[in-house]
Amino acid sequence: MRYPAKVVAAVVLAMTPAGAAPIAAQEIRARTGTSLVLGARVQVQYEAPSTEGVPGTFFIRRAWVTMDGTLNERVAGRVQFNAQGSSVLEAYLELKPSDAFQLQIGQFKKAMSYFWLAANSDLPLIERDGRVTGVDHCPGVGSVCSFGRFTGALGLDNYEPGVLMTGRFAGRRLGYRFTVTNGEGLSTKDVNTAKSASGRVSVYLADNTRLSGYFALDETLDSRGETMNTPAYGAEFEFGTWRQGPHILVNAIRGRNWKLNDEANFSAFQLMALWYRALPEETGLSGIEPLLRISWADSGAEGAAEATGTVITPGVMFYAAGRNGISTNVDVYRSGDQRHWSLKVQAFTFF
């Protein structure tokens, strides 16, 4: 839930002890003619992996603060901080001349797949890569072989500075999203002579049904220290939407596992199914959402190092109100004779 800046300031002032000296920083004020919305999210997690010698652990998974500013209907911006890691995740100016063309300049999540672009406040899946703490099995990218691990570890779906263009046209039946970025993640400096490009083109078959194709041409350094363009391409199908009955998201991708070597090509597939059901008010909960994720990936390694893996994640989210609630997932990883699992419980709190 988000509150206008003036409401936040009033709450802070109301909580100040009587007689305490006023502090100027307690007042948040937007310039005349503009609006400022302040939001925050905190996600506290418990993880208990099957890995021998690795203890179950409580920790803060996310503590983010977001400020969305609007100058007018065509100009806006965002700054999002990772309060836990003292870093800036998103910081951009957004220009919206029309529905068919919108532009962001700054730092944002470039995300080819909508699976990574979906806000963690919407997604009851706790870890997109299906990680199991203590397991370092997948050649090149490490951790487990899964769709989310490859797209995340290879930099296909992360935060980067650059330019983003997006829009919907043809009666909103067609959409696109293109980015040009440094290719170095949150680092503000490029290390080679090229730029990374990624894009997604979508056809909306119905209001809640979408078919997309996506691609990336990511610039990295090869084994000789020279600039190398690493391609990736895939497809995505989505039916449904968040917290409205059934929701299915299917992804397939193939690309270069450049962290393994200059020639290795990985493949990955993922199916995620969710079903949101509203609950009666007397239950004290607003809804329940069971989920199932099945992810398979081939690292592209050959010979004795050849590795494929499957992650199966059953789970359920209990919503207390709005985006607040508790989610439980069990990530089960299988690869050949290897069997590992990880129980994860996360409390979602949004302001």
Give the pLDDT score at 220.
Answer: 82
Degrees to nearest 5, angle at CA 159 with 172 and 258: 105
Count of structural domains, the chain: 1
C-alpha span between 326 and 317 (Å, rounded): 6
97: CB partners within 8 A, 6+ apart: 74
Cβ-contact 211, 205 below 8 angstroms: yes
> How remote is the C-alpha of 11 from its chain's centroid?
31
The closest alpha carbon to 64, from 121, 7, 116, belongs to 121
H or E stretch at 58: strand 57-72
By DSSP bridging, strand 227-239 and strand 209-221 are antiparallel
Give the pair of three-digit tokens for residue 189. Answer: 């400096």
C-alpha span between 184 and 189 (Å, rounded): 7
> How remote is the C-alpha of 288 from its chain's centroid?
22
C-alpha span between 229 and 214 (Å, rounded): 16
C-alpha span between 66 and 40 (Å, rounded): 6
Residue 176 maps to a domain = yes
| Phi and psi angles of residue 16, each rounded to the nearest 5 degrees, phi first | -75, 130
Mind listing the pLDDT tens digit for each residue in 100-154?
A: 999 999 999 987 899 999 988 889 999 999 999 999 999 999 999 999 999 999 9
Neighbours of 265 (CB within 10 A): 16
pTM, two decimals, is 0.88
C-alpha span between 223 and 227 (Å, rounded): 10
Mind listing the pLDDT tens digit for each residue in 75-105?
A: 999 999 999 877 999 999 999 999 999 999 9
Give the pair of three-digit tokens for residue 234. Answer: 């895939």
* Residue 15 pLDDT class (50, 70, 90 cuts): very low
Q: Is 256 left (phi over 0), alpha (psi -120 to 50) or beta?
A: beta
Cβ-contact 146, 137 below 8 angstroms: no
> How remote is the C-alpha of 250 from its chain's centroid?
16
The answer to whether residue 211 scores a pLDDT higher than 80 is: yes
The length of the chain is 351
C-alpha span between 337 and 131 (Å, rounded): 18
CATH number, residue 160: 2.40.160.10
Domain enclosing residue 166, as ranges:
31-350
Give the pLDDT score at 29.
Answer: 64
Mind listing the pLDDT tens digit for each residue in 26-74?
A: 346 677 678 889 999 999 999 999 999 999 999 999 999 999 999 889 9
Determine what percent of the chain is predicted with pLDDT higher than 90: 74
Cβ-contact 160, 196 below 8 angstroms: yes
Q: Is 299 left (phi over 0), alpha (psi -120 to 50) or beta?
A: alpha
Degrees to nearest 5, angle at CA 233 with 92 and 132: 80
Residue 19 maps to a domain = no
Residue 144 maps to a domain = yes
